[in-house]
Amino acid sequence: MMAGMPLLKEFKTFAVKGNVIDLAVAVVIGAAFSKIVTALVSEVVMPLVGKVMPSGDWVSYTLGGIRIGVVFGSILDFMVVSFVLFIVVVKFMGAMRRRLESGEPVEPTSKKCPECLEEIPLAARRCRACASEQPV
């Protein structure tokens, strides 16, 4: 039992690092965003497409046993998600990068812990990595 304690401590240190938590939050938000886009496409966009199609039921369209309507809906989901990611990542991040390159001063939002040199928020009173108290 004692031999497993260092491993457990190492795992705890790994699991509470900001990168792992940030990644977990990003995955959860991405899954929720995907559900929103899927609902938007299936309940708003595709009914509009169905109004334009002759039979009105896009889901029932098949070609050689392949449900083309469902495939079309999935492709549309992908296109909407890709477009939103393009706007957020390429355009927004590009604007931020240009702002940084233009020389405009950017207020720091984090600092390094003097004990372990981990990046922590400016307002933190304790380091999330080593739990040391931070000077004010």
CATH number at residue 65: 1.10.1200.120
Q: Is residue 64 one of the residues assigned to a domain?
A: yes
Q: Is residue 118 one of the residues assigned to a domain?
A: no
Distance CA 4, CA 84 (A): 45
Q: Is residue 65 one of the residues assigned to a domain?
A: yes
Domains held by the chain: number? 1
What's the mean pLDDT when you consider all of the chain?
80
Q: Is residue 97 one of the residues assigned to a domain?
A: yes
Q: Which residue has the higher pLDDT, 110 or 81?
A: 110
- Contact of 58 with 46, CB cutoff 8 Å: yes
Q: Is residue 44 one of the residues assigned to a domain?
A: yes
pLDDT tens digits, residue range 19-48?
777 778 888 888 888 888 888 877 887 788
pLDDT at 82: 81
How many other CB atoms are found less than 10 A from the CB of residue 85?
A: 12
- Contact of 46 with 76, CB cutoff 8 Å: yes
Q: Is residue 84 one of the residues assigned to a domain?
A: yes
User: What predicted TM-score, i.e. pTM, was given to this entire model?
Assistant: 0.44
Owning domain of residue 71 = 14-101
